[in-house]
Amino acid sequence: MDTASPIIALGKPPGKEGFRRTYSSASIKVRQVEVGPSSFQKIKLLGRGDVGKVYLVREKKSSKLYAMKVLSKKEMIERKKIKRALAEQEILATANHPFIVTLYHSFQSEDFLYFCMEYCMGGEFFRALQNKPGKCLKEDEARFYAAEVVAALEYLHLIGCVYRDLKPENILLHQSGHIMLSDFDLAKQHSSAGGRPAGISRADPSGPPMVDTRTCISDFRTNSFVGTEEYIAPEVINNKGHTAAVDWWTLGILIYEMIFATTPFKSNNRLNTFTNVLNADPWFHPNAPVSPACKDIIFRLLDKHEATRLGSRSGASEVKNHKWFSKIHWALLRNQTPPIVPSTSNGVDAVNFRMMRDSRSLDLENQVITAVAGRSAPGTPGLNEPDGMELVKRDGSQEDLFQGFSSITLLHDGES
């Protein structure tokens, strides 16, 4: 079934005509990779992680701007991050939703893996929050972004994926101001396609159809200890295994942080933060400028018992039906003007990203693409070994370690 609106305008800020992108289960065409490192001109460093960096690049042939994530094979081997990189590619290559960052190419050289993705000129949502007065949003503004996050999580759950690392740093702003989830290295894909979504009754008969997304991942449970300290759910800390309900917990943390400029359980060290997560309730100042419905959804999302947490029974539909979202027109989210419309200038100056110096500059011109015998298209089983295991071959060769990485070009219907 198609899980998103069939055709949605994208590409330019409100008030300007953009290209029309098709979102459906059959709108992605997969080809053998048509580019390599030397196809791109590096412009500047946008961000860095523990095993790689993200660069703003321009494709020489088309002059289009992209964000290129470059992961060091050496660092991935040393830090045991190979499986995460392969899983991230699997998810990005199959996901097709307006609120999830788009992958266009993936390929590898002898030393690196490359993800060529949509360049979100608005930068990190975290930085946008830091630039707001008080470093926070008004309740109506927070509701808008929370709704877009819910739509993205709903889609991920429908395709059998649990995100597990929602936080402002992993949310990017498209040049139109709408959000895009990024960084799927901690996401977990269901070992099978998952169950079929079930229809449920609608609170508003005139509203959009509601589906029970929980049925798509009803038997999903993993024991990994992953996440970001201030966003980790109680069941993860207790090491009792967790389900897709962790995504709804992190949504509660995000809503609180958007409105109050801090997370509800933050303390002076990790141990005290975890103690608060397990034992404390979110605190609201008596004069906090938020509605009772806002407080209610935060409390229900931050239910320490995952079985009774909002979203644990019927998934995203349960969250969307909460009274705090009663003003949201879910089918029209993408057509509304966001509270923050980024200043994009010419795009190349990357005004919405932090200034970073690249101490060890990557030379794209001298990186030669390697053809590795792997699966020809995403979606093939084999990336669902128990957490903590790496795909290590008998001879220990580096090339074998990355043979599951697909070198592909993805064409999206409706894009020029």
Residues belonging to the active site: 165
Torsion on CA atoms 298, 147, 143, 304, rounded to nearest 10? 10
Write the DSSP symbol of residue 213.
G
Q: Residue 335 to residues 14, 18, 122, 307: CA-CA distances in angstroms?
A: 9, 12, 17, 35
**Are the CB atoms for 267 and 276 separated by under 8 Å?**
yes
Contact 195, 216 (CB under 8 A): yes
C-alpha 316/C-alpha 378 separation (Å) is 26
Element housing 53 (H / E): strand 52-59
DSSP 253-269: HHHHHHHHSS-TT--SS
Which long-range CB contacts under 8 A does 336-339 form with residues at least 24 apart? 336/144, 337/14, 337/177, 338/144, 338/145, 338/173, 338/176, 338/177, 338/178, 339/137, 339/138, 339/140, 339/141, 339/144, 339/145, 339/177
- Is 242 within 8 Å of 303 (Cβ atoms)? no
CA distances (Å), origin 389, targets 44, 259, 384, 397: 34, 39, 10, 17
